[in-house]
Amino acid sequence: MSGPAAGTADAAASTDVVCLGESMVTFLPSQPGRLADVPSFGRGIGGAESNVACALAAAGHRAAWVGRVGADGFGDHLVETIASYGVDTSAVRRDPVRPTGIYFRTATDRGTDTHEVAYYRAGSAASAMSPDNVPYEDLLAGRVLHLSGITAALSADCLALLRDLTAARPGRPLVSFDVNHRPHLWRGGDASVLLELARRSDLVFVGEDEAEEAWGIVGAEAIRAALPEPAVVVVKRGSAGATVFASGLRPGPRSSIAGGAENAPASRSTEGGGARSSGAGGAENASGGAAFAADTVTLVPALRVDVVAAVGAGDAFAAGFLSATLRGLPVRDRVRHGHLMAAAVLTVPGDLTDPPARDHADRLAALDDDAWGRLRLGPGWTAADRAPEEVRTP
């Protein structure tokens, strides 16, 4: 196994976030309609983890993407495009035999019955990732390691890799895990393994809908009950917003990243409009030795957005939340930055776009609850110094 040398994870991290996963070349339709009727496609890139890395780098963070691509033109395009966002791609490996994955999709919302995606990823270079062929010294070099449930579905070797990376080990970076349940990838498989991986992580992103579909768990409180170990669980609730369960930690090397100073030991305070507290103590986190105090529960409403294409929003939300977490912002503002980053992607056709300038996003995230509730964002809002809706708020 190409595991980490002793002391590697204890070295001063030069990278904020390392993201591991498959990225593919995506072909976007030139017009709405069935795949059978679309006359031409434009080329882009898509991949949950590389999307997060690109968004973080564009927001000014030091981000790296670790993956495996084919020794082909599509692999060249992926690495060059991801690097153009400022992402470190030096640890990406090339497979001399297996190809880079590609996929085609329609312009409709992924959640609708008319949405179509045609994947050509079986036997891809990324599906060959394993504990024996990925550079652990690079994976464990950041403050945060961001993973996704998509990787676990690609192959048995990929699942073994995620199990190894989420295993308790001294000096492990904070592990961020986006469940990212994709039903088509789990046909004939057991998606309950995603619950296992989430429980071994420090920060978890999960949608209410995917928790119900993958695990049969309904509601934010039940999701937290099923995930007692992570310091922070972010339950995405679609148009209703997001609920964050953040546990206080006894002092430890990573508690300030995961929970923030506002989540002091035994804290039972509330944050944000409609926030409330509940107890979920007693568990230990994945690195061992840190017992959680009671949860601080924060509910943050979603923004009103004029949606152009409902793809990539989950990845952007995770990037916005991680960005604000790295900056040590309060939980409410972490969620608001997630919503704002998602709104940037929702108002463009593809999976990636330039995020709002930091000072612009900070001003919006700092709005009072009433002004936040009135905010409506549409195409082009990130390019404006101040969104028109912001000007009209008190």
Handedness of CA 286, 287, 289, 295 (dihedral sign): negative
Closest listed residue to residue 365, CA positions, set 338, 327, 392, 328: 338
Distance of CA 63 to the CA centre of its chain: 13
Residue 187 CB contacts under 8 Å (≥ 6 apart), including other chains: none
Measured from the Cβ of residue 240, the count of other Cβ atoms closer than 10 Å reads 13
Copy the structure tokens of residue 179: 């469940």
Reduced to 3 states (helix: H, G, I; strand: E, B; else coil), residue 193 is helix
Of the candidates 387, 258, 377, the one whose C-alpha atom is nearest the C-alpha of residue 324 is 258
Q: CB-based contacts of 26: which residues, under 8 Å, 6+ apart? A: 43, 44, 45, 46, 102, 103, 104, 105, 350, 351
10 is catalytic: no
Packing angle, helices 73-84 and 48-58, rounded to 10: 30
17: number of Cβ within 10 Å: 29
DSSP code at position 238: G
Question: Would you say 275 and 297 are in contact if contact means Cβ atoms under 8 Å apart?
Answer: yes
| 3-state percent breakdown (helix, strand, coil) of the chain, nearest 5 | 35, 20, 45
User: Element (H or E) spanning 68, and its range?
Assistant: strand 68-70
DSSP states of 299-340: EEPPPEE--S--SSHHHHHHHHHHHHHHTT--HHHHHHHHHH
Closest CA to 325 of 238, 195, 234: 234
Measuring CA to CA, which residue among 354, 352, 336, 349 is closest to residue 310?
Answer: 349
Residue in 295, 315, 333, 351 annotated catalytic: 315
70, 31 contact by CB (below 8 A) = no
Active centre residues (catalytic): 315
